[in-house]
Structure 1
Amino acid sequence: MPKDQASVLLEILSQGLKRYAELSTQKFLGDRTGYVGLSDVGRAMECMRATVAAKLSPGEGDDHDTNADQMLATLRRHLTLQRGHCFEDLVGHALSAHDLLLMRQLEIEIIHQGTPLRAHLDFVLVSPTPVPTVRILECKSAQRLPDALYTSYETQVYGQVGLLYAAWNTKAFSLRDATGRVCSSRLTFPELCQASLGVTLPNRPEDVDLQAWVLCLSMTDGKAFGPYVAHPAMLEMCLKTASALWAHVTACREGQGDIDSLPTASGCHGLCGYCDWNADCPKFRGEEHPDWEGDLRTLFTLKAKKQALEETIQEREEAIRTACALSHTNHAWIRAGGYRCKLAQQNGRYSLDMERLRQEVTALTGSASEAEQLLARCRTRGQPTTRLLVRAMRATPEATDPTVASSFATAN
């Protein structure tokens, strides 16, 4: 059955974004199967199996557009991935508007106990005054801003600041221009700052104010996490994880390792449903009931529609709330045909500040341990409940249609 032009156009966009991502990775990051990146280290902290699988077969776990639903899933996925790159460019424009001295995509390359390791830093800001200062800024995009930084992000940024500190005076630093061409290679960090920015920095990282920050951005908000400073124990953890990851990759390539024996994400991890390698993950092995597929597909679709509807309701409610606030009606009713609305003040809910209570009880009893015991005696837990988890498995890899772009002009 021929595809309609609207579907073909979306498929062109979907496959184009995939190809653009592949070209950009090759241009700025090189062959990622040949080294361990710090984002790989962060990912391995959550799921070693998925990280090793991505190193062994990059791209094979990606969505393949065998039907319209999978094509749209691929499009949403790559729009989300490219959103991060768009935010990074916006941050770059904002920093440049202040005439700050900065480097983008600074690369640190080392060999640690036989493990090839590379770090790519989104932004490095440098200032010689009033004291020598270096700031690492890592950009992350999110649909909703997290209350606390994810473990994988913290691992990555600790690795960045730790490697910069440890490799300061080694010729491990390189820089590329906007086209991906290497413009400075194999310099120490002070040498690179002198060559690229004309800034003279001390030869000792101890004499520099060095911090790292993570900037999380959504479409409507932003949040900064930090500062992170060089910490020997955190760097050692990153290096050990990188070595373990590379050992697993090497063993699997040589046929001496079994990828299904590697650790997977524990518990109901939120990213498992989006993992490229979840179709045959041993974590989800169980009984086969193919006759349930219709009911599960219906439930999965309804829940997705519910989420989309809730997001639409929230957006529309915020728009009308803003309109009411700007109408200067002093919380009076606003008539609109057969409907009416107004902004109404409601009393806040009572809540118990546990930290404040702990302090008060400690002050009354004069003992922190007695206060904790008293609070423990008053603490109760509700009855356990069951939760139905429904996730879509990733599609089995199949060849994509190379003629999709040329078919758009003639599609009916």
Structure 2
Amino acid sequence: MDIQNTLLTSLRTLAQQHTEDTLGDRNNYLGASDVGYCPRKVILGKIHPSEHDLATLLRFQRGHMAEDIIARAFTAAGYCNYEQQVELVLSGDVPLKAHVDFVFTSNTHNIKSILEVKSTNRIPDGPYSSWESQLYIQMGLLAEQYPEYIIKGAVLALDIANGEVAFFNGYEPQTTIFNGLQERAGAIWSAFQAMLHQEEAHLDTEVSPLCGFCDHITTCPQFETEHVPQLAGVVEALQELQAREKNVQGEIAKLKRHLLAVVEQKGPIASGGCFLKKATRSRKHLNMDRLEAFLAESGTGIEEYQENRSFSFLEIRKAKAKAA
């Protein structure tokens, strides 16, 4: 049994069923989450959809799990004033829909609150712009449908693997932002319709770190040349963090040496709400001298048991300045 192929095939089927059951045919409308992403990626993804790999499918399942976990937690806490997967539709020429994870209603205070749940590999310092765009569309649509209610919104980010949670609260509908997002949705939908009818259309592109997850990057005009200035801010931020990481690691090592010297002389101590002592552990390692001697007696050498294995990493080097 090929377990990986079984998982891939089954999860693709589950993903398709879930989309059909909860979202319908996404080629017939724009989702609120579509509007916050690169227009070219959204349009080409609808026209030339690709089959998701196993990693992507597992991330989808993790997202569903996150929503289920939150729903069970609310139910266990006694909350019953919420609805899940609430569909909101924009009135107008652009078929824009939102499927809201949770809508809480307080009839006593005349408030409807949106909670959007995001499953992520790492909790960000702040909500991503695409999350906020989605939330502003959801709040705008909900305000249109329920003008008599006060509308509020929040994003709950979950890192299931590390057990971390972040709550980004305090959002309210913003007419200017909502109108701007509607215009953006209209431009995306117009370009999509033009391409469907074999008409010439300009596809706006937006470079970001998410480009690495785009199936259409190889044909993207922003990456026709090696020079991609739009990512300069990301590269600079990474280099700054790496420099800070080296300094922090050096400081950590120095402080550890100082504290270890203290407990080596004094013995175990308590300080700063912690208990400090010298710990000694052992680990197994290969004695290469003995191994090489044994192999030599057998008429062979260690190089016969070595093999090359490739690995990938991000190499960053300073670009050479061009001659004037």
TM-score, normalised via structure 2 length: 0.69
Q: Which residue of 1 aligns with 2:239?
A: none
SS at structure 2 position matched to 1:336: coil
Q: What residue number does 1:156 align with?
A: 134
The alpha-carbon distance between structure 1 residues 9 and 286, as it changes in their structure 2 partners (threshold 3 A), is same
Aligned to 1:324: none
Distance 1:108 1:330, change over 3 A: closer
1:97-139 CA distance string (max 9 Å, x none): 2232110011112342x2111111100011223x222211000
Say whether residues 1:84 and 2:84 are aligned partners.
no
1:61 equivalenced with 2:33 (yes/no): no
Contact 2:89 2:141 in 1 (8 A): no
The change in CA–CA distance for 1:21 and 1:330 in structure 2 (over 3 A counts) is same
Aligned to 2:318: 386
Distance 1:37 1:387 in 2: 40
Which residue of structure 2 lines up, in the alignment, with residue 49 of structure 1? Answer: 40
Look up the match of 1:334.
Answer: 279
Alignment partner of 1:109 is 2:48: no
2:31 to 23, 28, 37: 37
Shift of 1:387: 6.9
Question: Which residue in the other structure is 1:278 paired with?
Answer: 217
Name the CA distance, whole Å, in 1 between partners of 2:51 and 2:114: 31
Alignment of 1:98 onto 2:77: yes
Alignment partner of 2:218: what SS? coil
Deviation at 1:329, TM superposition (A): 9.0
In 2 relative to 1, CA 336–15 (structure 1 residues): closer, same or farther, beyond 3 Å?
A: same
Code of the residue aligned with 1:235 in structure 2: it is F
Cα distance, 1:98–1:249 mapped onto 2, change above 3 Å: same
Quick one: distance in 2 between partners of 1:155 and 1:332? 50
Q: 1:230: Cα distance to partner?
A: 1.2
Q: 3-state DSSP class of the match of 2:157?
A: strand
CA distance in 1: counterparts of 2:97 and 2:142, whole angstroms: 11
Deviation at 1:50, TM superposition (A): 0.4
* Aligned pair partner of 2:200 in 257, 270, 275: 257
Q: Is the 8 A contact 1:135 1:211 kept in 2?
A: yes
Alpha-carbon distance between aligned partners in 2 of 1:146 and 1:9, rounded to the nearest angstrom = 33
Q: Is 1:12 the equivalent of 2:1?
A: no
Give the aligned length. Answer: 245
- Which residue of structure 1 aligns with residue 54 of structure 2? 75
Partners of 2:185 and 2:220 in 1: how far apart? 22
User: Deviation per CA, 1:67-121, whole angstroms, max 9, x where unpaired?
Assistant: xxxxxxx211211122111101101111112232110011112342x21111111
Q: Is residue 62–residue 276 contact of structure 1 (8 Å, CA) maintained in 2?
A: no
Looking at both structures, which has the greater relative contact order when contacts are Cα pairs under 8 Å and sequence separation is at least 6? 1
Gap regions ≥5 residues in structure 2: 227-272, 285-316
Q: Which amino acid aligns with 1:24?
A: H
Match of 1:166 in 2: 144
CA distance in 2, matches of 1:338, 1:109: 61
Q: Deviations over 1:281-315 (max 9, x none)?
A: 2222248xxxxxxxxxxxxxxxxxxxxxxxxxxxx
Distance 1:18 1:105 in 2: 21
State whether residues 90 and 141 of structure 2, in contact with CA within 8 Å, keep that contact through their aligned partners in structure 1.
Answer: no
- Residue 336 of structure 1 deviates from its aligned partner by 1.8
3-state SS of the aligned residue for 1:92? helix
Q: Contact (CA 8 Å) 1:138, 1:157: kept in 2 or not?
A: yes
Corresponding residue number in structure 1 for 2:172: 229
Shift of 1:257: 2.3
Distance 1:128 1:281, change over 3 A: same
User: CA offset at residue 226 of structure 1?
Assistant: 2.0
TM-score normalized by structure 1? 0.55
Query: CA separation of 1:167/1:334 partners in 2, compared to 1, >3 Å: closer, same or farther?
Result: same
**In the aligned structure 2, how far is the partner of 1:285 from the partner of 1:25?**
34
CA spacing shift, 1:218–1:329, aligned 2, 3 Å: closer
- CA–CA distance in structure 2, aligned partners of residues 246 and 16 of structure 1: 32
Once the two structures are aligned, what percentage of the paired residues are identical?
A: 31
Where 1:148 maps in the other structure, the secondary structure is: coil
What CA distance in whole angstroms lies between the structure 2 residues aligned with 1:221 and 1:110? 34
**Structure 1 residues 335, 26: closer, same or farther in 2, change over 3 A?**
same
Q: Quick one: which amino acid aligns to residue 331 of structure 1?
A: L
Q: Structure 1: which amino acid aligns with 2:222? A: K
The Cα of 1:167 is off from its aligned counterpart by 2.3
Q: Judge conservation of contact 1:121–1:137 (CA < 8 Å) in 2.
A: yes
Tell me the SS of whatever aligns to 1:144: coil
Instruction: Provide Cα deviations, 1:6-26, integer angstroms capped at 9, x if missing partner.
Output: xx2111101211221111001
1:223 aligns to what SS in structure 2?
strand
CA shift, 1:61, in A, is: 2.5
Structure 1, gaps ≥5 residues long? 64-73, 169-203, 288-327, 340-384, 389-412
Mapped to 2, the partners of 1:132 and 1:91 lie a distance apart of 24
Cα RMSD (Å) of the superposition?
Answer: 2.9
Return the alpha-carbon distance in structure 1 between the equivalents of residues 143 and 174 of structure 2. Answer: 9
The answer on whether the counterparts of 2:142 and 2:151 sit within 8 Å (CA) in structure 1 is no
Measured in 1, the distance between the counterparts of 2:198 and 2:121 equals 40
